[in-house]
Structure 1
Amino acid sequence: MAVAIAAVAALTAVAVPTLIGSEATAAYAVTRNADGSITVTIKEFREADRLQRELAGDGVRTDITYLPQHKRCAGVRGTEVDSAPPPHQPLVWPERERPVRSFKISPQLIEPGRTLVLELAESHRTKLWKLKFYLVTGPVGPCVFENDPYWN
């Protein structure tokens, strides 16, 4: 009987998280698309480090910053890349078919040695959000917060 109870407890410890999944509590979702792009949906502005690690596992080096209310990062945080992606091939673009905080990334357009910098903010009052992105060659500097006069 004790062996049966231990087996059921072990099975429950593995099966319940698998069946329920971590999506219920995840701050974000990452979807790998057939065209090679990656869709990121931000559910809560937390766990940026975890999201960076997951995207790195897909070969996308990122620096993700969730900004406090009415703030932005001062300037560009490294050596910004001048090259633009080919026409009709956006590097990052908002998803119209998904929830408001979704965007796609085209990993194939990020060359080795470059980091995709993503800075995201949301207005608690209006629930609108904004996304700033650019590529940096070499190390990415820290985000130094400054007031954002264009954000309400």
Structure 2
Amino acid sequence: MLRHAVTAALVLIAAGPAVASGGGEKPKEAKVEVGQYVDLAPVGLPIVADGRLVNYVFVYVRINLTGSANTSQWRAREPYFRDALVRAGHRTPFTLKDDYQKIDTVRLSASLKQDAARIAGPGVVQSVVVTSQAPRGRASAPRPAAPRQNAPTV
């Protein structure tokens, strides 16, 4: 009996908004538009300074596709885009000269856009955007080089 009372109360609570809005109207179906993009799984990119690894920055990247691109086809190829990003990030790290907590998003976007266009073909990739980046550790900012003193001449 208690179970029936609880069930009836839940039904009345759920029906409350429908009754308040007029009840007779059928809600319009929302047309869901799927975005024309491919989100890459987070990738840890190295920050290298003076030939030494000083940090990793985890980046979240979105590849925006043109309106005519087959989104589901290219989302299935996400590992290929991610692999291209990892290879580019290790070949020539996207290190900023003044900050070891972030990557150079302009260089990363330009590099990955070229690689993505090579993977997907012409007319598929519209742009590449770094949506978020998070450093793994706290690497101190680079110090300015100390001025070199000339050695005394003899």
Q: Indicate whether the TM-score tops 0.5.
A: no
Q: Kindly indicate which of the two structures has a greater share of residues assigned to helix.
A: 2
Q: Decide which structure has the larger Cα Rg and report it.
A: 2
TM-score range, shorter chain: under 0.3
- What TM-score do the two structures reach when normalised by structure 2? 0.21
